[in-house]
Amino acid sequence: MALTTYVEAIRQGIWEEMEKDERVFVLGEDVGIYGGAFKVTAGMLEKFGEWRIIDTPISESAIVGAAIGAALMGMRPIAEMQFADFISCAFDQITNFAAKCRYRWGAGVPIVVRGPSGGGVHGGPFHSQNPEMYFVHTPGLKVVCPSTAYDAKGLIKAAIRDPDPVIYFEHKFLYRRVKEELPTDDFVVPIGKASIRRPGTDISVLTYGAMVYNALDAAKELEREGIDLEVVDLRSLLPFDKETILESVKKTNKVILLHEDTRIGGFAGELAAIISDEAFEYLDGPIRRITAPDTPVPYSPPLEEFFLPKVSDIVYVARELYAY
């Protein structure tokens, strides 16, 4: 069986949902003739036509606004942000309208707003951000961050089928670096369910996105020293799988919270509060955070490498915590 890349998995998921449901369509900048900035929609214009693959002006607020209107009329739009950083231009439409329609008058807004996020490709401060926490803080939204090709396909399909707005962040560093065999039959990955990527007994590493692979690499290195990491891939940040998180912490009694996003207001802080509230008596050491520093993402390759959490950071903190 051929291996499928992360980016191709997203493309397959969208393609299959469009074949199954004529209400599904894509709109965004360069999604049609060009096939998308990262070729997620390549070939779709020829297959589905210009009424379902819609090239738009460079206006994220217009893209999401049109998607919301179409969703309220019974359609299932997928709005592409060429880079996730530019989702800020549609912040009002997403947080003040799409997220609140269900609460205000019972109307679902079944849209998917998807876009490439994250660093590691020297994209600079306007093409490398991880903007997930703006939306995790917004009731009424769902936020997912797949790390594998299987999850990328399963979560995009779940997001398209969801009756409410889903923000789907795909890490561009993983697009063509991550590959795996995918089932040929239809499948979805449930939103709100974490996955244990590596069982362990000594320290739980709770993470998501590209940092899952840093955690797994650190676990391999630490295994030679007799330190056994459990790597938990959150997959969904809103809703998130509190049960799996607490079970892991109660098993290992020590926890590292790892994410690529900056520190203040990052998801690690929220998880630390929940663990402290609900699993404090199980802890045998301090809750440790490994994150990016509170600066914009640097363009300079050496500075970006310093900025992003590294395998060596995880190894260092895990050694300290293991010895505590």
**98 DSSP 8-state letter:** I
**286 DSSP 8-state letter:** -
Here the tokens at position 2 are 């051929």
**125 DSSP 8-state letter:** T
The residue annotated as part of the active site, out of 127, 137, 171, 259, is: 127
Pair 113, 79: CB distance under 8 Å: yes
Pair 256, 290: CB distance under 8 Å: yes
Pair 286, 254: CB distance under 8 Å: no
Annotated active-site residue 127? The verdict is yes
Query: E-assigned strands of 32-140?
Result: 53-55, 76-80, 112-117
User: How far from chain centre, in Å, is Cα 10?
Assistant: 12
235 residue type, one letter? R
Given strand 112-117, what is the order of strands in its sheet?
53-55, 24-28, 76-80, 112-117, 166-171, 142-144, 236-238
Query: E-assigned strands of 81-130?
Result: 112-117
Can the peptide bond before residue 199 be classed as cis, meaning omega within 30 degrees of 0?
A: no
Which residues are marked as active site? 127
